[in-house]
Amino acid sequence: MTYFQGKTVWLTGASSGIGLAMAQQLAEAGAHLILTSRRAEALEQVRLSLAHPERHRVLALDLSQPEAAAEQAHHELGDQVIDILINNAGVSQRSFILDTDMAVYRQLMEIDYFGVIALTKLVLPRMVERRTGHIVTVSSVAGKVGTKLRSGYNGAKFGVIGFMDSLRAEMKQHDLVVTSILPGFINTQVAHNSLTGDGSALGHEDPDNAGGISADECARQSLQAMSKQKAEVVVGSGVSKLAPFLQRFFPGLVRRMVANR
């Protein structure tokens, strides 16, 4: 994809899942990557595995503390030009509302919502000044359709889509591109890492994600949508891909479906 050739792409959540697959495909496409997740060691292994590793750099950040992460990134990146920011880092949830601590809701919002805003605000002024740039956020179909066991995750992802819609409207006059990616069920470790009611990790897969499309295919479709500068795209297969359409035109049916799952 020539769209990414020679561009500096800041990719969060780059050490596993969709982010790792994006990193591999972006490197093959000739991008210069800034790879972010929590663990520097894992990121360094990713960097060394990519095509042209000398083009890429590692920036480990803890997005559960968004303001501190943005301040650290500002210190380390300085005035480096960012052509594309891909907000991909995130954590999911598997717990009923009655069983979920408030601290878990706050953690989900810090990473999945405020983390997006903090990094977006960091790169935005320079993009506006240059009148060029592309902000991408990997939200979720869960940002369109609320389901059981994901109340905090749904809330954060609904919020992110609203933020991105506002950003897109405000940035049109500055010629910036804003893209929201909405994956459905993707076969990654997202369920394993999902937060339970007390904040511990679930530690095992669920059948929905296990039956989803591969991370490689999700990354391919997502990068294709970015290269076409699409505003929003749903990525997936089966019911999870259809869910936003059904929610829009048949909301009563969707309410019954999610209540009976």
**CATH, residue 184:** 3.40.50.720
Indicate the Cα dihedral angle 171, 229, 61, 22, nearest 10°.
Answer: 180
Please provide residue 59's backbone torsions phi and psi, each rounded to the nearest 5 degrees. -140, 95
What's the pLDDT score for residue 65? 97
pLDDT on residue 205: 80
Instruction: State the average pLDDT over residues 183-198.
Output: 90
For residue range 27-43, list pLDDT tens digits in order. Answer: 999 999 999 999 999 99
pLDDT of the residue at 79? 87
Alpha helix positions (H), the chain? 17-28, 40-49, 66-77, 102-109, 115-130, 151-171, 207-210, 215-227, 238-249, 251-260
How high is the pLDDT of residue 36? 98
Whole-number pLDDT of residue 245? 87
What residue has token string 């052509």?
83
Question: Residue 7 pLDDT more than 90?
Answer: yes
Using the structure block, give the residue that is written with the tokens 């506002």: 166
Q: Is the pLDDT of residue 114 over 80?
A: yes
The more confident residue out of 39 and 1 is 39
pLDDT of residue 254: 86
Residue 261: band (very low, low, confident or very high) from pLDDT cuts 50, 70, 90: confident
Query: Positive or negative, the Cα torsion across 213, 1, 19, 55?
Result: positive
* pLDDT above 80 (res 210): no
User: What pLDDT score was predicted for residue 206?
Assistant: 76
**Catalytic residue positions?**
153
Strand 8-12 and strand 32-36: pairing?
Answer: parallel
Least confident stretch, 67-71, 157-161, 234-238: 234-238
pTM: 0.95
Across the chain, mean pLDDT equals: 95
At residue 104, the pLDDT reads 98
In the chain, how many domains are there? 1
State the pLDDT confidence band at 109, using cuts at 50, 70 and 90. Answer: very high
pLDDT of residue 19: 97
The pLDDT value given to residue 49: 98
Query: What domain range is 187 assigned to?
Result: 2-260
Q: What is the mean pLDDT of residues 203-223?
A: 88
Among left, alpha and beta (phi > 0; psi -120 to 50; other), residue 31 is beta
For residue 100, what are its two tokens? 């979920």
